[in-house]
């Protein structure tokens, strides 16, 4: 007889159902994101969590290929409990699985971009909401291509220290140029797109509105949210969160840290405050565990994803 998953079970990532919390000890068991069951059959799923361990487009410190592992590990503390601030077990309302990681062709950078886009498109074809764990910020470009193919042009809501509008040439593979390339390809609705937390200067902005870090600090969370909502409106959007939007005090484990950024509290309240917007997909990128301390950055990243998932669950209860 096979033991059934339940409150006293372990390795929920292999034995659990797609709904409901897990009972694994926080310090043990197979690590998926929030102990979701691993699987490749996404039929009927509301939510799919997926890793893209790619960091070959960085301009400074590498290591984000290990980001999906670290974020999953940090998420183990959340399983099986009602979550703050919603008070819900999100998986009582969402059918979800962890799809594992994207298989990337080594040594073939254009092939990596195609593999990310192709696999994302396959997941999205099921109707599931896709949350991607990066990886460096280049991965957002093929993700946008896949999402736009399904939903049409999307507003981009980007939390970041950098504008990522550097011109590395048409078709370039770089984590600092993906926004400019997305603008060139017509993937994003420029008039509704916004970047939050910026504290570097690029030669161009691509037409995307900017709320720099000092402005966010001066405005506070409530007025920053009002600015974002005003810009994005009621149309569909895509949320990308570069962990370096946080100050290095809250996220040291990243490739291009910049002082003066958001606190974890500000970032979490902002992501939670976006829950009424029509967000069609999300990614969390640039967690680089080799530069992390005590999983500070991975914990912040996993909590940001957890807040977004809570927002999806709240919508399902309405």
State the CATH number of the domain containing residue 216.
3.40.800.10
Q: What percent of the chain has pLDDT over 90?
A: 81
Structural contact between residues 267 and 297, judged by C-beta atoms closer than 8 angstroms? no
Q: Is residue 70 part of a domain?
A: yes
Q: Residue 1: inside a domain, yes or no?
A: no
pLDDT value for 4: 45
Residue 3 in domain: no
pLDDT at 2 over 80: no
Q: Per-residue pLDDT for 44 more than 60?
A: yes
Query: Domain for residue 306, yes or no?
Result: yes
**Is 177 a domain residue?**
yes
Confidence category of residue 244, pLDDT binned at 50, 70, 90: very high
The answer to pTM > 0.85 is yes
In 3D space, the residue among 73, 84, 82, 87 whose CA is nearest the CA of residue 29 turns out to be 73
Instruction: Residue 214: count other Cβ atoms within 10 Å of its Cβ.
Output: 12
Query: For the residues 106-129, what does the mean pLDDT come to?
Result: 96
Helix, strand or coil, per DSSP, at residue 290: helix
Residue pair 38/13 in contact (Cβ under 8 Å)? The answer is yes
Query: Would you state the structure tokens that stand for residue 9, as one six-digit string?
Result: 């079970």
Q: For 118-136, what is the mean pLDDT?
A: 97
- In this structure, is residue 7 part of a structural domain? no
Confidence of residue 3 (pLDDT cuts 50, 70, 90): very low
Higher pLDDT, residue 202 or 248: 248
Q: Pick from 264, 282, 292, 273: which is nearest to 224 by CA? A: 273
CA 7 to chain centre: 29
Q: How many domains does the chain have?
A: 1
Domain holding 288, by residue range, is 12-316
Query: Does 72 have pLDDT greater than 80?
Result: yes
Would you say residue 240 lies in a domain?
yes
Average pLDDT, the chain: 93
DSSP bridge partners of 49: 98, 131
The answer to whether residue 4 sits within a structural domain is: no
């Amino acid at each position: 007889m096979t033991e059934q998953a339940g409150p006293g079970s372990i390795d929920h990532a292999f034995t659990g159902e797609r709904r409901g919390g897990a009972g694994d000890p926080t310090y043990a068991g197979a690590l998926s994101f929030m102990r979701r069951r691993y699987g490749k059959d996404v039929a009927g799923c509301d939510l799919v969590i997926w890793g893209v361990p790619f960091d070959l487009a960085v301009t400074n410190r590498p290591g984000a290929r290990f980001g999906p592992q670290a974020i999953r590990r940090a998420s183990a503390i959340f399983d099986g409990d009602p979550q703050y601030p919603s008070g819900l077990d999100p998986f009582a309302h969402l059918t979800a699985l962890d799809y594992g990681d994207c298989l990337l062709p080594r040594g073939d950078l254009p092939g990596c971009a195609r593999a990310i886009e192709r696999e994302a498109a396959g997941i999205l074809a099921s109707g599931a909401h896709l949350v991607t764990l990066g990886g460096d910020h280049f991965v957002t470009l093929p993700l946008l291509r896949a999402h736009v193919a399904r939903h049409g042009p999307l507003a981009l809501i980007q939390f970041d220290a950098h504008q990522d509008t550097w011109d590395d040439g048409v078709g370039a593979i770089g984590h600092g140029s993906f926004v400019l390339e997305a603008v060139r390809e017509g993937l994003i609705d420029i008039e509704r797109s916004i970047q939050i937390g910026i504290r570097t200067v690029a030669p161009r902005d691509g037409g995307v509105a900017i709320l720099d870090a000092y402005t966010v600090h001066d405005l506070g969370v409530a007025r920053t949210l009002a600015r974002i909502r005003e810009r994005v409106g009621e149309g569909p959007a895509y949320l990308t969160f570069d962990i370096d939007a946080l100050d290095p005090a809250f996220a040291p484990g990243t490739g291009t840290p910049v002082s003066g950024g958001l606190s974890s509290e500000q970032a979490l309240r902002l992501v939670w405050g976006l829950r009424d917007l029509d967000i069609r997909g999300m990614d969390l990128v640039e967690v680089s565990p080799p530069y992390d301390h005590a999983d500070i950055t991975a914990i912040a990243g996993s909590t940001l994803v957890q807040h977004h998932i809570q927002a999806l669950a709240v919508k399902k209860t309405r």
